[in-house]
Structure formats: structure tokens, C-alpha cells
A = this chain, B = another copy of it.
Amino acid sequence: MRSRYFASDPARKRVAVELYESVEDLPLICPHGHVDPRLFADPDYQFGSPVDLLIIPDHYIFRMLYSQGISLEALGIPALDGESTQGDHRKIWQLVCDHWHLFRATPTGIWIRDELADVFGINLKITSANAGAIYDEIAAKLKSEAFRPRALYERFNIEALATTDAATDRLRHHQAILDSGWPGRIIPTFRPDAVIAIDQEDWAQNIELLSAVSGIAIGDYGGYIQALEERREHFKTMGATTTDHAALTAYTEALNPAEADAIFQRALKGEASAKDAARFTGHMLIEMARMSSEDGLVMQLHVGSYRNHNPAVHARFGRDMGADIPIRSEFTKNLKALLDRFGNQPEMTLILFNLDETTYSRELAPLAGHYPILRLGPPWWFFDSWLGMTRFLDDVVETAGIYNTAGFNDDTRAYPSIPARHDVWRRVCANWLAGQQVRGFIDEEDAREMIRALAYDLAKQTYRLDG
């Protein structure tokens, strides 16, 4: 249905459809996400079963089923100790379909339905009765040439897609893509969290790896900084335009070099405290901004997720298992040390993301509506949803305008869901702008230019993909 999801008021719906149609054929800009570059390195890459594709990697899906008493084992999620979990993917699929009502009125429910219809051509409702037929249809399609990742890239009309890669990644898949001569634009993103979070178990190991990959000895803070600069340079060479940083809070603090080195040395000895870790992270955010001011990489900051909140699930299944829970966030005070140094540089860009919607109108929009360095990322994670996006526009635009936002990014590892995700964003924007237009806040010319900016231009410009 062309007008799906739009307001039911006829006047507004008509305008929404027109605005939507003016952008629906624009290419997709995917400047931040978690698609595995391996998909594009091998021209013949095949997805596995429908469950491999749609269920096992999607923590949005299995967290909801888990919340209703279905074990992760029954969903085929591999346990770390290798204990057997359900291996019959048809059974898993049936179990999921038997509980699909849980996803009514959720973004997952919408994405999967739209994806089945628009990518797989399947218009059956997901029910117990239809489970088998849907499974077979997906499985058959996945075997065809048309469902190779590179073929889908063309079909999805993607213009550029950024992956997210550890600072220590040698980017061999990206190199293979470049070497293959395939014209798709798959670019890396420099994500150094694992070499910055000194309180993570594997930090020391990652520092060794950083040293090995960069070819720089890391005996002190100076060497560490040098190695990071080398890696950023390498990522740039491979096409990167951005870095990405995750932190529990937006706290920033400028340490002097001696303090930074003292903490670094304690960390190398395994003696860093929790406070050391928080201060070091806060310092490194400033240091990363400093590097961005020099090398021109756009900086992204994602804050506010309490990772691995459920120790039992973490111990048995590892990270990213649907047990990351948001906490309250603060930016006005926390980000000040960074902004004091780099906030007024219009040639720099820092894109902010978080999971506490109360910050939208109170802190983020006022900050972005003043500091040249700041742009607001689209609603993240749980808020990548119809109402979440609508609240974002409602809360942000009056204060910051749309031109201090960074457009959309899908932030997904679920590659075939990308068109559905962009479609929801474009529809939300069309619907929101239609509301503004029919009520006379903006005129048609404004609305047309704004929908194009939100659907395409802002992401491309903010992430410097127009170079």
C-alpha cells in the first residue's frame, strides 16, 4: 500500500504520499552500520538458511522471544561452551512464527513484513499455519543469484555502505572488495573502543594486536597515540570517512600527558581502577576529536547503553545478546571539556547518538543549535521506530532545525532489512513534513527540499560521502 503508515487524515495523507514519492527512488546512503564486509568480498557469498539470515543474528527478535520464556537454545543461538542448541532450522522458524504475535506494532514486525514483501516477494502473513510455506520460499530465493549480497546492493540502490571495524582490523575484506574491481562502495569505519576501554578484559591483548598491526611499539602513551594515528591514516586510505566511539556516558576530561601516561601504565600492568577507566575514556574522546581536527574524519559518539546487563546470558552466550539496557544520559556538563576545545570548529563534525530521549529537547537540540561541530544522529536502536523517529523530529527540529541533524543511518547488521529501514524513515519524514505543510508551518517548496535533505543529502554531506 503506497500510503502505508501515513496519517489517516486525507489531506495530510495526500501530501505525505507526494513527498514520499519525491524521494523514494533516491539511492540509499548507509553511512553507519554493522554489515559484515565479508558479504561483499566474496562475489559468490551465500546466506545460509532463513534462520541464519533472519533470526540468529537479530537480537531484536530473540530478546523479545526470550522475554516471553523461550530459551535462546531453542532459537538456535550458539552457546559459548559449544553445548548443543536447536539445530533444526525449520523447527526454529516454526517456533518463531508460533509467537509472531509478540511483534505486533513493533518495528521488527514491520521491517520483517516489509522485507518479506519487498525483497522476497512474499505477502503471506507470518502465522503458525504459514510458517512452512514462508520458510521454503525464502530458502529457495536465497539460493538464487539474485540474492547474492552484491546483486542485492544493486537492487537496493545503495550508493555507499560503511561497515564498523575494530581499530586493529587489517581490513582484508575491504581490500578484497577494492581489488575485485566491483564498483560498490563499501567503506570501513574506525572504531577504537576495544583499545581504549582499559577496563575490558581483552584490552591488553588488543593493545598487542594494535602494536602488531601498526608496526609501532606501544610501551607508553606516546606510542599508543602514534599507533592510533597510523591506523586512522590506514582506514582513510581504505576509504573511511568516519570514526565511531561507544561509551557508557558522554563524560569528557582533558588529562595532561603525564596523567594520561600514568593511567596508561597502570592499565598495562592491569592495575587501572574503574575511575581510571572512566577518566581515560573521557580523555580519549577529546584526543580523538583532536585527531579528527587534523585528519578530517567525522566523529560519531554513541552513549548510554549498559552492555551485557544480564550476567547469566552473557556468561552462556557472550556479548550482544539482547541484554543491553539504556541508562539516563547527560551531555551539557559531560561534553563541555571536549566542546571547550573543539566545539567552535565548523570544519569538524561530531555526531551524537544516545538512548535517553529526554536529552533530545533538553540538551541535544540546544547544543546542536549552537555549536558548529555538532550534528544529531538519527534515533538509535530502540528508537529506530515509527514513533521513536516522530518523537525525535518533534523534540529536535523546533530548536535545532533539520540541518543540524545527520539524516538517517540504518545501523544494522541485517543486510536485507536495509531498504525496509530506510523506507520507514522516509515515510516518517514525509508524514511529519506533510503535517507541517498542511497546517501552514512550511510551504510545499520547503517540504520538498526538507524531505530530500532528510532522505539523502544530510547523510551524504554530514558523513562526507560527497567527496
Contact = CB atoms under 8 A, between A and B. Distances in A.
A327 interface: yes
Interface in A286-310: 306, 309-310
A17 to B, nearest CB: 13
Copies in the complex: 3
Given A369-B63, A372-B66, A439-B5, A327 B363 contact: yes
A69 interface: yes
A312 interface: yes
A344 interface: yes
Interface in A9-59: 9, 11-12
A156 interface: no
Interface residues on A, range: 35 or more
Given A9-B9, A344-B312, A328 B362 contact: yes
A343 to B, nearest CB: 6
Given A68-B346, A322-B370, A357-B362, 17 more contacts: A3-B440, A7-B439, A64-B400, A67-B369, A102-B403, A104-B401, A104-B442, A105-B436, A309-B332, A309-B339, A310-B340, A310-B344, A312-B340, A312-B344, A328-B362, A361-B383, A387-B398
Interface stretch (A87-95, A193-201, A203-211, A443-451): A443-451
A67 B372 contact: yes
A398 B369 contact: no
A423 interface: no
12 contacts: A63-B370, A66-B370, A67-B371, A68-B404, A104-B442, A104-B450, A312-B343, A325-B332, A325-B363, A327-B332, A386-B441, A387-B395
A372 B68 contact: yes
Nearest to A107: B398
User: What 10 pairs across the A-B complex have the smallest Cβ distances?
Assistant: A69-B346, A4-B440, A385-B398, A8-B438, A382-B399, A325-B332, A326-B362, A63-B370, A8-B11, A325-B366
A312 B340 CA distance: 7
A323 B66 CA distance: 40
A463 interface: no
B8 A435 contact: yes
Contacts of A63: 369-370
Interface of A: 1, 3-9, 11-12, 63-64, 66-69, 101-107, 109-110, 125, 306, 309-313, 322-328, 330, 332-333, 336, 339-340, 343-344, 346, 355-358, 361-363, 365-372, 374, 382-383, 385-388, 394-395, 397-404, 435-436, 438-443, 446, 449-450
A441 B369 CA distance: 34
A110 B436 CA distance: 12
B367 A325 contact: yes
Nearest to A404: B67
A310 B336 CA distance: 8
Nearest to A366: B325
